[in-house]
């Protein structure tokens, strides 16, 4: 790859040829203000906030559409640049409503941030502001306020090049422009949350998060979406052990800057009414210690136990279960059940959503190769009459196979699915964003989950529960706390 060397504000930088000056400046810690530019959308160059001075150029240039060139000398904070940015901000704010205190974008609005740094001017407008539509229903998860739109066209370009739906457009010119959905249509695609997120102001907002929480109260941790095998990188936003929203985290190799709406809404599963929060033994509620003891007793007494490796489990939990078999249950048979998950919508697309709704199927593949013979769903169905105990790790094995009757089941479950409901012993386990762990996506990329909240009730990470069972079976040396893995699996 050809690289070029240039200087930005006196800082030398080498970047791949074709890199925009905005990204080149970021590489040396210089943030060039912008509204319309986005790293994963075509360049529009219409906001004029990213102007810079380039040595030898007779006029200011926009950094979003100017690639770095060998020997280029760029200055981003000269008097001419500051004057141009101030003028651009004055035009953008001329008719913008002064409703920051009640705007849902307040606290993460680029217009607020850039005014504070690059403008701070008093309005010279003496005429009434142009009035446009407010609280317009444009989508199943979108609300539009036309007065706040600054015509950056990010949403229009997203609809053209990402979803291909072309359902948003800007009509009119100058201060009489209006953004809106095509006449007689309503946005229904699965990436509406991305439209709300890439809007740099409060023009497009999400119904799911609208007026739910002020963003400056929220903390964030980087993590992974557990919705499918794509393994989108996300930011989990939470306050006081409650997750309030999920945002995409940029990873050009996995999900770029996007995430589907279904993935955004998975935080609701943490507080879903049917989620197991307490253990259960033979149909009655039980404390976690009692459930672990009951599980260990069932496995100890079983002459022909079976164990199911679930694709919802982390690599740490899968490793713990394999070690448990090696050290305490050498006669146990291992299974994995592929196929549609009854608890997930069976859909996929060419953008991000994978048909496999298990986030760690590749991790199961790796562990299955290490563990020796591992039977599939058909083998499990055939073996059920001979098994006298079945431990299922984070999988609705009975639901996938359509089985009603089974040997006594020990279920380590996050969801309240058929397997959890039928279990003789139920051990509640933590969700993806309630633990640290590792997942391997469909491309073999090893990625880290990070804990954002603590669960209500008694759920624990599945590997902790397996460690507890192993301790009761006399195999507690390292069976539940493997070292995290890193890297990429080919």
- Tell me the pLDDT tens digit for each residue of 130-185: 989 999 999 999 999 999 999 999 999 999 999 999 999 999 888 888 999 987 78
Helix H or strand E segment including 11: strand 11-16
Residues 186 and 137: beta-carbon distance below 8 Å: yes
- Tell me the pLDDT tens digit for each residue of 429-444: 999 999 999 999 999 9
> Please, what is the Cα angle at 386 between 381 and 392, to 5 degrees?
55
Strand-pair category, 142-144 with 136-139: antiparallel
> Which residues does residue 168 pair with via DSSP β-bridges, in sequence order?
181
For residues 203-225, average pLDDT: 96
> Please, what is the Cα angle at 90 between 88 and 94, to 5 degrees?
125
57 vs 172: CA distance, rounded Å: 33
Query: pTM for the full model?
Result: 0.93
3-class secondary structure, 445: strand
- Tell me the pLDDT tens digit for each residue of 278-310: 999 999 999 999 999 999 999 999 999 999 999
Count the residues in the chain.
Answer: 490
137 vs 143: CA distance, rounded Å: 5
């Amino acid at each position: 790859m050809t690289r070029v060397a240039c200087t930005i504000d006196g800082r030398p930088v080498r970047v791949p040829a074709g890199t925009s000056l905005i990204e080149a400046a970021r590489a040396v810690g210089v943030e060039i203000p912008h509204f319309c530019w986005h790293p994963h959308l075509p360049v529009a160059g219409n906001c004029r906030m990213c102007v810079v001075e380039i040595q030898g150029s007779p006029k200011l240039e926009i950094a979003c559409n100017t690639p770095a060139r060998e020997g280029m000398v760029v200055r981003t904070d000269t008097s001419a640049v500051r004057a141009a940015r101030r003028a651009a901000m004055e035009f953008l704010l001329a008719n913008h409503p002064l409703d920051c205190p009640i705007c849902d974008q307040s606290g993460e609005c680029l217009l607020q941030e850039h005014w504070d740094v690059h403008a701070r001017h008093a309005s010279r407008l003496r005429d009434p502001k142009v009035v446009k539509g407010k609280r317009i229903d444009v989508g199943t998860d979108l609300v539009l306020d036309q007065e706040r739109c600054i015509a950056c066209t990010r949403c229009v370009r997203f609809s053209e090049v990402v979803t291909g739906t072309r359902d948003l457009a800007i009509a009119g010119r100058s201060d009489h422009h209006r953004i809106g959905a095509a006449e007689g249509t309503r946005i229904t695609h699965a990436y509406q949350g991305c439209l709300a997120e890439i809007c740099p102001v409060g023009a497009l907002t999400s119904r799911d998060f609208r007026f739910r929480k002020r963003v400056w109260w929220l903390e964030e941790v980087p993590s992974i979406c557990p919705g499918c095998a794509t393994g989108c990188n996300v930011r989990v936003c939470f306050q006081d052990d409650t997750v309030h929203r999920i945002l995409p985290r940029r990873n050009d190799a996995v999900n770029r800057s996007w995430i589907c709406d279904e993935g955004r809404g998975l935080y609701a599963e943490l507080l879903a009414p049917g989620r197991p929060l307490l253990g259960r033994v033979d149909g009655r509620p039980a404390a976690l210690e009692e459930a672990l003891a009951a599980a260990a007793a069932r496995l100890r007494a079983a002459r022909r136990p079976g164990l199911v490796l679930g694709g919802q489990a982390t690599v740490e939990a899968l490793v713990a279960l394999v070690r448990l078999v090696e050290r305490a249950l050498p006669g146990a048979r291992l299974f994995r059940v592929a196929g549609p998950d009854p608890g997930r919508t069976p859909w996929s697309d060419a953008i991000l959503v994978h048909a496999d709704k298990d986030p760690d199927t590749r991790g199961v593949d790796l562990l299955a190769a290490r563990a020796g013979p591992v039977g599939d769903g058909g083998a499990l169905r055939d073996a059920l009459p001979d098994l006298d105990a079945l431990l299922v790790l984070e999988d609705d094995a009975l639901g996938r196979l359509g089985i009603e009757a089974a040997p006594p089941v020990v279920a380590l479950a996050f969801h309240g699915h058929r397997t959890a409901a039928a279990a003789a012993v139920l051990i509640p386990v933590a969700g993806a964003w309630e633990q640290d762990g590792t997942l391997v996506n469909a491309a073999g990329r090893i990625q880290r989950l990070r804990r954002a909240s603590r669960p209500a009730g008694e759920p624990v990470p599945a590997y902790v529960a397996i460690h507890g069972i192993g301790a009761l079976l006399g195999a507690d040396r390292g069976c539940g706390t493997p070292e995290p893995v890193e890297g990429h699996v080919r």
